[in-house]
Amino acid sequence: MTIWHHIFCRFGRNERGATAVIVALMITVLVGAAGVAVDFINLYQAKANLQIALDNAVLAAASGASTKSSDLNTLGNKFVAANVNKSPSVSRLTSTISYNATTNLIEGKASASFKTSFVALLGLTNVTFKAASAAARAQGGPLDLVLVLDKTSSMDEKVDGIKKIQTLRDAANSLVKSLMGPDTRVGVVKFAEQMGVNASTYINASWIDVGQPVWVDGGCGWAGTDCRTTYYDCIIDGVKKSCPYVDQCKTQKYVCGAGNWNYWTGCLAYRPGYETVISNPQKPKYRGIVMDWGNRCNSSFLDMSSSLTDVTTYITNIYPSGETYIPGGLLWGWNMLDPEEPLTGARTASDLESRGGEKVMVLMTDGYNTRYVQSDGTVNTITTAAQRTATNSDTSSLCTKIKNDNIKLFTVAFDVTDQTIIGILRNCATTPEMAFTASNTSALKDAFSSIGSQLKRVHLTN
């Protein structure tokens, strides 16, 4: 017979009522305390489970490039709901995920209700518990990044009902927002044909031969009035279009235009024979083009900047024009990532490497080369196979030299069907995984998002 049997038998035979009451009360208290402990243990486990689920949701959101609350909440809610323990005691689960542009943090909050068992006897049926988490979007070290973006006329065409230039703006801005941090610098080259710089900024640059003003006589000739406009097939930036032509004027008159001086306004020729070289920009110098015939001087750049607002504003204001000369974009992207003249905003390779940083270039184009460089450094329309071969060869040569300069190179072909240029871009990238082909809007955004994921490492901050 056990000791407990003796005790309970003795308790049953005890005729002293006070003892029975005390023992009964003690048992009630002990049972109640045990029940409360069970409730608190279950509540603690539910809260810990919610915290883990929210941490994972925030890390998942931070590993992507999106900053939209709707996208982040959709991803976060799915992650939290899938990872929270499906206990019948837990209900009213809610979570929110958001991006804080000021701190570059993905921030998450979550709450749920826990249904008590024993504590409910004391009047506390449900207990609300919460969790909070944040993750930083950051690269392992300092980053110098240059986006070389196609802004030619074909970027005005639509894919999936949206102009390609708008999709590019959205994708590039999302990438910059996901990567910009206190030790990140970003530059942008929007390329088409000749490079244009701010004349007032670079008028005295030692690497530019501005040249003398040119007088242009106004000239005289017959001008028509009340003319009819007809249209004909033409090719612009490799795309077949309908172009206007004015003919059959009803009346004509002889007019003379006023002459004027033309001054350098920022247009630069390429250096003949040095199309794939950035060293010694003073030997030879870049020649200033005084007269921009055909408005071909439509490429420009934003030098390295640590201002998220400046970079995203510049990207948002890219508008399509001009024909495609990919080597020009690569050349000036390389110039920007090199700390020596003509552009000096980049950091040295030794500085970045000593702190675990890197230099990165992202080249995006929607077509093949349609321009080549002439002997005077100006571009013109490709009309022969030899001109195309030479320009494609310059494209490949520049990619090789850029990679040999310890610059990571990503390439993105957007809505490109020409297999030659697709192959060139694939070989241009540092690795096959860094070359993307995007045939639609979603694929382009996914490509830029994937680039962002490869460039950053995410960590929890609290």
Q: Kindly list the distances between the CA atom of residue 66 and the CA atoms of 61, 279, 435, in Å, as whole numbers in the listed order.
A: 8, 38, 21
What is the C-alpha R_g of the chain?
Answer: 34
347 against 95, higher pLDDT: 347
Can you give the residue range of the structural domain that contains 418?
143-213+268-460
Residue 145, pLDDT > 70, answer yes
pLDDT of residue 8: 37
Question: What token pair was written down for 420?
Answer: 């030659």
Residue 45: CA count within 13 A, CB half-sphere: 11
Reported confidence tier of residue 461, pLDDT bands at 50, 70, 90? low
pLDDT of residue 16: 53
pLDDT of residue 1: 47
Q: Do residue 277 and residue 349 come from a single domain? A: yes
Residues in the chain: 462
Q: In this structure, is residue 20 part of a structural domain? A: yes
Q: Do residue 316 and residue 378 come from a single domain? A: yes
pLDDT of residue 285: 96
What CA–CA distance (Å, rounded) separates 180 from 184?
6
Q: In this structure, is residue 263 part of a structural domain? A: no
Reported confidence tier of residue 57, pLDDT bands at 50, 70, 90? confident
Closest by Cα among 331, 361, 328 to 186? 361
Tally of domains within the chain: 3
Q: Do residue 47 and residue 98 come from a single domain? A: yes
What CA–CA distance (Å, rounded) separates 318 from 63?
27
Q: Do residue 51 and residue 102 come from a single domain? A: yes
Question: What token pair was written down for 370?
Answer: 């349609």
Spell out the residues 6+ positions from residue 335 whose beta carbon is closer than 8 angstroms to its own. Answer: 278, 281, 342, 343
Reported confidence tier of residue 9, pLDDT bands at 50, 70, 90? very low
User: What global pTM score does this model have?
Assistant: 0.68
* Of 84, 103, 138, the domain-final residue: 138
Q: Do residue 122 and residue 87 come from a single domain? A: yes
Are 233 and 205 spatial neighbours (Cβ–Cβ below 8 Å)? no
Where are any strands of DSSP class E within 12-150? 90-100, 105-115, 126-138, 143-150
Spell out the residues 6+ positions from residue 378 whose beta carbon is closer than 8 angstroms to its own. Answer: 194, 269, 270, 289, 296
Q: In this structure, is residue 355 part of a structural domain? A: yes
Q: Do residue 284 and residue 244 come from a single domain? A: no
Q: In this structure, is residue 372 part of a structural domain? A: yes
Q: Do residue 178 and residue 311 come from a single domain? A: yes
Q: Do residue 99 and residue 171 come from a single domain? A: no
Burial (CB < 10 A; 0-12, 13-18, 19+), residue 369, is buried
**Euclidean distance between the first and the last CA atom of the chain, given in angstroms as a whole number:** 58
Q: In this structure, is residue 128 part of a structural domain? A: yes
Q: Do residue 164 and residue 235 come from a single domain? A: no
What CA–CA distance (Å, rounded) separates 287 from 271?
7
Q: In this structure, is residue 386 part of a structural domain? A: yes
Q: Do residue 177 and residue 320 come from a single domain? A: yes
